[in-house]
Structure 1
Amino acid sequence: MIVGVIIGEFVPGVQPAFDTARFASVSAPIAAGLIVMMWPILTKVQYEALPRLLVTRKTLTHIALSVFLNWVVAPLVMLALAWATLPDLPGYRTGVIMVGIARCIAMVMVWNQLAGGDANYCAVLVVLNSVLQIALYSPYAVWFVNIMGGAGADIHVSYGNVAISVLIYLGIPLGAGLLTRALCLYLTSRDFFTNRFLPLISPLGPLGLLYTIVVLFAYQGHHIIHDIGPVFRVIVPLVLYFTIMWAGAFALVWWLGRRARGNGQWSYEMAVVQSFTAGSNNFELAIAVTIAVYGVGSEQALAATIGPLVEVPVLLALTWVALYLGRTLHWDRQSRVNPEELAGQDGGQRERLSEDTDEKRSSKSNHERVEETAV
């Protein structure tokens, strides 16, 4: 961020250079960074495991809870916080709201891994949110910005513009991730894909994000220096939002686990998945849409760009909190699902049942022989 601001303030001709080539109304260098930073994460998602994971009642219950937290509670919480903290800054308020309606599909996998959450369920929720965002982000943007966000005529969003931006900056990397994963698994082995290919492309995600942040702050360096007060005010609703959503979801799963009394559905691993999914956002998509709709030099784009600068340290701290609570609180027993084993789950259950029946019959027969001998 600091490097970008310095470049934007003291290097002449930065903005005209970025605007030389444009892609879908966005500077080409910025558009490239927005797409590249999402491709590696979306390549890691286990799309092939989704049909097998959806056959369990436990998965469907957690999907329903996640949809409620992510697409009902979270946008309303961010809307309330944006109005409470930024009532006199409609441009920045709109940018914060755009962050709130973009549900996380990338960094949540990192936080989930660090905190010891269930990777399979996290993958299911990532796929689900990816699909829902393509369908819901545009109508949500129109509803929360134009109607509930109190946006003036100069900052209204167009459904068509938002939909095109979502298709470009989420659809392209999602399609690229699906195609890359399918081709690599078809042409090579899963071991090669997991242990060699994914580590090779993984650095492109954070590098693309850092590159995009530097370019955005370079583009807005002069604006940031002369309006530093509003920039710091944007941090307040973001910190409150990440903390409230994470703590609320984590406490809810813990409470449900205490009520369930050991059925394995509300374990610590599931609390991690639900809390980090609810408490984080797809800031890449929010940045891409605000740039495409409002322009790279807009207050909305600047507010969205501040999102990852706040989210990363806050959620990193919350991973430590999760690990501490995992050790100190009483949790429902761990119950993970291995997608590779689900296909043969019914057959395995039948085999175990048959084995148990045989053992009981053998035990009964032995008991009868003992009684006959005694007689």
Structure 2
Amino acid sequence: MSTFERYLTVWVALCIVAGVALGHLFPTLFHTVGDIEMARVNLPVAVLIWLMIIPMLLRIDFSALAQVGLHWRGISVTLFVNWAVKPFSMALLGWLFIGWLFRPMLPADQIDSYIAGLIILAAAPCTAMVFVWSNLTKGEPHFTLSQVALNDAIMIVAFAPIVALLLGLSAITVPWSTLVLSVALYIVIPVIISQVIRKSLIKDGSTVRLERLLAKLQPASLVALLATLVLLFGFQGEQIIAQPMIIALLAVPILIQVYFNSGLAYLLNRASGEEHCVAGPSALIGASNFFELAVAAAISLFGFNSGAALATVVGVLIEVPVMLSVVWIVNRSKGWYEDGAAVSRNSSKRQNAS
């Protein structure tokens, strides 16, 4: 790991501060950049996300995807956490903290809107950023890609019903154009680009040229992550400075939610005997959010200046620092994880089979 990567948390913190400050000082500039969008998907952010995830996707040999069936335990755990636990636990945490404990400290007319924003945030599992987190934990790339693709397919049919159920609405307007375009921009197009490049570089059977390109792209990938943070926090710089106490209160259930779901997925994978390279991305996929869709849905349903929109933005505010802390925990606990009885037993079986 390079010196730059070793201090990634420091750079992230500095970029968050810089983004908020620049957004406050130059709101017109950031509003102009923020308006460069299609179906509520910001195109400059999409390009930066390409730079983040294409180096990860270049490492994936799609001919090996058939092996993902070996990790059925990780797939099952992540699906369970994402769709059977996460939205409902967030609804409970939202009611407990925002609807009860913090109610006296929040605007009374926005309580329900804040809770709605938290639910929308939790109902959309992460897509693009998962490739970054998985790479930082040395996760199994084929598992990560397959799990993200499966989540995308489920999200198309399950997002609206789950949100509608938890919000107590008979129907909900989902920005389908945003969902479809986001999946195309953040998954389909980068996968196509990366595989075309990969095949052109290893057509002679050697991976030397591919490894050289990856060595050059890795720093660009991290710089793109930091630039994305500056943009996202620049977009919301004015609101963040104007409402620090509300943001701090909204962050509490989101923080608990992230650590609860990542810990649950990690422990369930350990109990089932799944490999650490699968348990890491499984825990991260189970905890992170598709914030682009969540923000767009909240704005579409409740308006740009609503409590719901602000709640989803708070999710963006703490997403990267918190997920980096989960990455650190996963990496530091690898020895403990692999000492688990089920993990050791399955590892011995795999060695004997090979």
Give the TM-score normalised by structure 2.
0.73
Gapped regions of structure 1 (runs ≥ 5): 258-265, 339-348, 353-375
Gapped regions of structure 2 (runs ≥ 5): 1-15, 104-110
Check conservation: 2:251, 2:315, Cα contact below 8 A.
no
Residue matched to 2:179: 166
Aligned residue-pair number: 320
Matched residue SS, 1:278? helix
Residue matched to 2:162: 144
Distance 2:228 2:151 in 1: 25
Q: CA 1:11–1:280 in structure 2 vs 1: closer, same or farther (change >3 Å)?
A: closer
Q: Where do 1:176-195 residues align within 5 Å?
A: 176-189=189-202, 191-192=207-208, 194-195=210-211
Is it true that 1:308 corresponds to 2:319 in the alignment?
yes
Check conservation: 2:46, 2:186, Cα contact below 8 A.
no
Residue matched to 1:239: 255
Distance 2:133 2:37 in 1: 34
Check conservation: 2:36, 2:43, Cα contact below 8 A.
yes
Name which of 86, 93, 108 aligns with 1:81.
93
Range with bigger deviation, 80-89 or 14-23: 14-23
RMSD: 3.7
Check conservation: 1:92, 1:303, Cα contact below 8 A.
no
Is it true that 1:9 corresponds to 2:24 in the alignment?
yes
Residue matched to 2:347: 335
Is it true that 1:128 corresponds to 2:147 in the alignment?
yes
Residue matched to 1:277: 285
Instruction: Describe the superposition over 1:107-152 as per-residue Cα deviations: whole angstroms up to 9, x where unpaired.
Output: 54555555565x2xx522432322431x33244332333331357x
1:237 Cα shift? 1.6
Residue matched to 1:318: 329
Range with bigger deviation, 165-174 or 269-278: 269-278
Distance 1:193 1:238 in 2: 43
Name which of 216, 220, 225 aligns with 1:200.
216
Question: Considering only CA atoms, is the larger Rg found in Structure 1 or Structure 2?
Answer: 1
Residue matched to 1:95: 117
Letter in 2 for 1:241: Q
Check conservation: 1:166, 1:285, Cα contact below 8 A.
yes
Residue matched to 2:66: 51
Residue matched to 2:234: 218
Matched residue SS, 2:333? helix
Distance 2:68 2:201 in 1: 24
Letter in 1 for 2:116: T
Distance 2:142 2:73 in 1: 15
Percent identity over the alignment?
A: 21
1:26 Cα shift? 4.8
1:270 Cα shift? 4.7
Range with bigger deviation, 244-253 or 25-34: 25-34
Q: CA 1:299–1:4 in structure 2 vs 1: closer, same or farther (change >3 Å)?
A: same
Check conservation: 1:4, 1:214, Cα contact below 8 A.
yes
1:222 Cα shift? 2.0
